[in-house]
């Protein structure tokens, strides 16, 4: 069983409280690990989550495929946090897509739902929604120290020690038109890469179900609704008839 640790200290971050230490695991550092499961460990050796190695590899592959279709490269991170969330941001000038532990647990290994989520986030990049949000001063500034520990074993390259990493994460509140555009573009990415389009509907239904008892941070910037679900149904149905 392999443990992975990647941590960042943040002052203010999308989905995290002010002056709270957050932990990050870069997905590409974990895909070559041996063994059926991976332990995502915090600095105190506490295991934040145990994830099947297969899920990590499928997650990375979905991200690579969809990013290639979009022509928008980014790094994929798993992020600490119990309440399901995901975000687009910039680490040291590089695009980042983050999915937190709560979202990993909620999706529960369904790679098609992960593809829908990644496709939607990547579509916000591709359509210029994130950049538009930054120009509207919706950027949250953070400065942290990124530390990679113990990634050299099992044939996985070590992340090393990087200090003084500047971080900009975008907390964008997307309007209805931007959400519709991202939904439609995500369906195109899923179709091009042979993922099950119905997973996009299932994912939004899951968001609404979870949100009844707990206000999800993800929905504050990516509002789901029955209307969006019906729009997705109609869009997917049109794709079936066009084949």
DSSP track, 143-184: EEEEEEES-SGGGPPP--EEEEEEEEEE-----HHHHHHHHH
Strands 37-41 and 47-52: antiparallel
128-184 pLDDT per residue, tens: 877 665 544 333 333 232 223 333 333 333 222 222 223 344 444 677 788 889 899
The whole model's pTM is what? 0.76
pLDDT at 156: 33
Average pLDDT over residues 210-221: 59
**118 pLDDT higher than 90:** yes
pLDDT at 169: 44
**51 pLDDT higher than 50:** yes
Average pLDDT over residues 64-93: 87
pLDDT at 212: 62
Alpha-carbon gap, residue 85 to 191, rounded angstroms: 24
**Domain limits, the chain:** 2-242
Q: Average model confidence (pLDDT) for the chain?
A: 74
pLDDT at 185: 95
Alpha-carbon gap, residue 131 to 135, rounded angstroms: 6
**116 pLDDT higher than 90:** yes
More reliable by pLDDT, 27 or 174: 27
pLDDT at 219: 60
More reliable by pLDDT, 177 or 113: 113
79-94 pLDDT per residue, tens: 888 888 888 777 777 8
Strand partners, 148: 6
Measured between alpha carbons, how far apart are the two ends of the chain, in Å?
44
pLDDT at 8: 37
3-class DSSP state for residue 116? helix
pLDDT at 69: 97
């Amino acid at each position: 069983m392999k443990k992975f640790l990647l941590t960042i200290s943040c002052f203010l971050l999308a989905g995290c409280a002010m002056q709270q230490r957050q932990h990050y695991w870069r997905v590409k550092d974990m895909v070559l690990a041996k063994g059926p499961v991976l332990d995502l460990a915090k600095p105190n050796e506490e295991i934040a989550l145990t994830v099947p190695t297969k899920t990590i590899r499928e997650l990375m592959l979905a991200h690579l495929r969809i990013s290639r279709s979009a022509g928008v490269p980014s790094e994929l991170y798993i992020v600490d946090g119990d309440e399901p969330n995901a975000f687009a941001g910039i680490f040291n000038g590089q695009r980042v897509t983050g999915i937190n532990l709560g979202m990993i647990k909620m999706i529960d290994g369904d790679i098609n739902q992960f593809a829908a989520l990644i496709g939607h986030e990547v579509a916000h990049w591709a359509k210029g929604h994130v950049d538009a949000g930054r120009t509207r001063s919706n950027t949250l500034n953070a400065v942290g120290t990124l530390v990679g520990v113990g990634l050299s074993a099992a044939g996985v390259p070590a992340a090393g020690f990087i200090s003084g990493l500047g971080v900009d994460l975008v907390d964008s509140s997307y309007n209805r038109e931007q959400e519709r555009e991202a939904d439609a573009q995500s369906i195109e990415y899923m179709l091009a890469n042979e993922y099950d389009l119905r997973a996009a509907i299932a994912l939004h239904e899951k968001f609404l179900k979870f949100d009844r008892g707990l206000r999800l941070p993800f929905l504050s910037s990516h509002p789901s609704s029955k209307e969006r679900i019906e729009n997705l149904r109609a869009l997917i149905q049109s794709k079936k008839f066009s084949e």
